Amino acid sequence: MRLKLDSYLRLIAGRHADSATALRAVIADYGDGWVEVDRQHPDYPRNQIAFVFTRGPGTELKKLLARIGITATPNCSCNARATAMDINEAREPGWCEAHLEEIVGWLREEAEKRGLPFVDMAGRLLVRRSIKNAKRNA
């Protein structure tokens, strides 16, 4: 599994008395902040339910939408989709750009549910801006 080194370090934090032990599961370091991790390695942290991502295009998109007063509600899929964007982008850099129309579709779908007007071009701009912000903050 390919992921950001800092994401893997957050994953192993507190899981091992010695973080160096968990680093043995890293099988390739690409030198650009990305590493390949062997999830089958005996030293890979096992008691983790899910990665906790605090950065990424999904998180950045939520921030941009919050600026204009649009926030997640208990019955929307916004948080799950933002997390999916963050995870997919961490696993496969460029995923959000490659799935731009799908993400814009998610925004359109949620706008329709809320009775809000939606313009695809504005949705594309928001998603691209969130990708750019995530890269800048990485």
111 plus 67 within the same structural domain = yes
65 plus 104 within the same structural domain = yes
64 plus 126 within the same structural domain = yes
Instruction: Please give the backbone phi and psi of residue 43, each rounded to the nearest 5 degrees, phi first.
Output: -90, 0
pLDDT at 46: 62
106 plus 126 within the same structural domain = yes
The answer to whether 60 and 83 are in contact (CB under 8 A) is no
40 plus 63 within the same structural domain = no
The answer to whether 56 and 86 are in contact (CB under 8 A) is yes
95 plus 79 within the same structural domain = yes
41 plus 65 within the same structural domain = no
37 pLDDT more than 70 = yes
70 plus 42 within the same structural domain = no
pLDDT digits (tens, 9 = 90+) for 96-107: 999 999 999 999
78 plus 91 within the same structural domain = yes
pLDDT digits (tens, 9 = 90+) for 39-61: 788 777 665 444 455 689 999 99
Residue 93, domain extent? 57-137
Kindly give, in sequence order, each residue whose CB lies less than 8 Å from that of residue 137, ignoring residues fewer than 6 positions away: 55, 60
75 plus 121 within the same structural domain = yes
23 plus 64 within the same structural domain = no
Mean pLDDT computed over every residue of the chain = 83
